[in-house]
Amino acid sequence: MTTSDRAALIRLDGVSRRFRRGAETVVAVADVTFELAPGELTVVSGPSGSGKTTLLNLLLGWEQPDDGVRTTSVPTDRWTGLAVVPQQLGLIDHCTVGENVRLPGRANELVLDPAEVMDRLGIGHLAERFPQETSLGEQQRTAVARAIVTRPRVLVVDEPTSHQDERNTERIVELLVEVARSGSAVVAATHDERVTTIADRRFEMRDGHLTPPNA
């Protein structure tokens, strides 16, 4: 079944995003049409500065397009609808690793067991530590765990393996695949071939332009 056979959860139609850099206008995303459908793991690859993060921000609604339209059927105010792992991770310093992972449970149903997810990501033994008492790789896996415990309808992850070794990359990839197979739409911006090789659809971004999938 292709994406077009199912209703897209988030869709961008002819979307562009521009920034001013001094006297110069930089086109970060150029006339992109792109959609996320349930049950798929989609990867957007490309070099630094190619527009990947801006594309994710447009999908999330964190940035508004200068041209084109974004439509979505997903509630963005609840972790069950839309969850994200940003590059800056966004962990709460005064909460422990375990509290950060369980944080979405304050207003949402936790579909997955936080303790089991943390164990699978190799951070179960860190549950009572604060983020600043853990490594950057462990913090990144904490952010991944927090994002998937509600099994959201849409999961957006930005460079989710950038601080991981081979074993921990495998752990993250396994869970991303499982979340997609459970019916979520998962999109990852990454240049890590360990992630791109297992994607259902693969796009490449160059100078704000998006190639067709698997081209």
pLDDT in tens, 103-147: 998 887 889 999 999 999 999 999 999 999 999 999 999 999 999
d(CA 23, CA 121): 46
Going from N- to C-terminal start, the domains of the chain cover: 37-61+74-210
CATH number, domain 37-61+74-210: 3.40.50.300
pLDDT at 23: 85
Mean pLDDT in residue range 94-100: 97
Report the C-alpha gap between 119 and 134 in whole angstroms: 15
The pLDDT of residue 6? 67
Per-residue confidence at 2, pLDDT binned at 50, 70, 90? very low
Mean pLDDT, the chain, integer: 91
Per-range mean pLDDT, top range of 44-53, 128-137, 190-199 = 128-137
Show the DSSP H helices in the chain as ranges. Answer: 52-60, 97-102, 114-120, 136-148, 166-181, 193-196
Report pLDDT digits (tens) over 27-37.
999 999 999 99
Under 8 Å CB-to-CB from 141, ≥6 apart: which residues? 121, 122, 123, 164, 168, 171, 172
